[in-house]
Amino acid sequence: MVALALTRPRHGTVRVLKPTGLLGGSFNPAHGGHRGISLFALDALGLDEIWWLVSPGNPLKEGARDMAPLQARLKSARKMARGTRIRPTAIERDLGTRYTVETLEKLIRRYPKRRFIWIMGSDNLAQFHRWKNWRRIARHIVIAVIARPGYDDEALSAPAMAWLRRFVRPASQSRNWTDWRPPALVYLRFRPDPRSATRLRRDNPQWHLAFSTTASRDPVTRRRIP
CATH number (1.20.190.20, 3.30.590.10, 3.40.1280.10, 3.40.50.620) of 18-219 reads: 3.40.50.620
Report pLDDT for 60: 63
Q: Which of 81, 119, 85 is nearest to 100 (CA)?
A: 119
Q: Would you kindly state where each structural domain of the chain is located, as residue ranges?
A: 18-219
In the prediction, which pLDDT does 5 show?
Answer: 62
Q: What are the Cα distances from residue 56, in Å, to 59, 72, 99, 202?
A: 10, 11, 11, 21
Looking only at the bridges linking them, the beta strands covering 224-225 and 216-217 are antiparallel
What is the distance between the alpha carbons of residues 191 and 189, in angstroms, rounded to a whole number? 7
* pLDDT reported for residue 121: 92
Round to whole Å and give the CA distance between 49 and 2.
9
How many angstroms separate the CA atoms of 216 and 226, rounded?
7
**Which residues, 6+ apart, have CB-to-CB distance to 115 below 8 Å?**
5, 17, 18, 19, 20, 178
The reported pLDDT for the residue numbered 50 is: 98
Q: Is 146 helix (H, G, I), strand (E, B) or coil?
A: strand
What is the pLDDT, as a whole number, of residue 207? 46
> Mean pLDDT of successive 10-residue segments in the chain (226 residues)?
54 75 95 93 98 85 75 95 97 93 97 97 95 97 91 92 97 97 95 57 57 58 54
Q: Model-level pTM greater than 0.85?
A: no
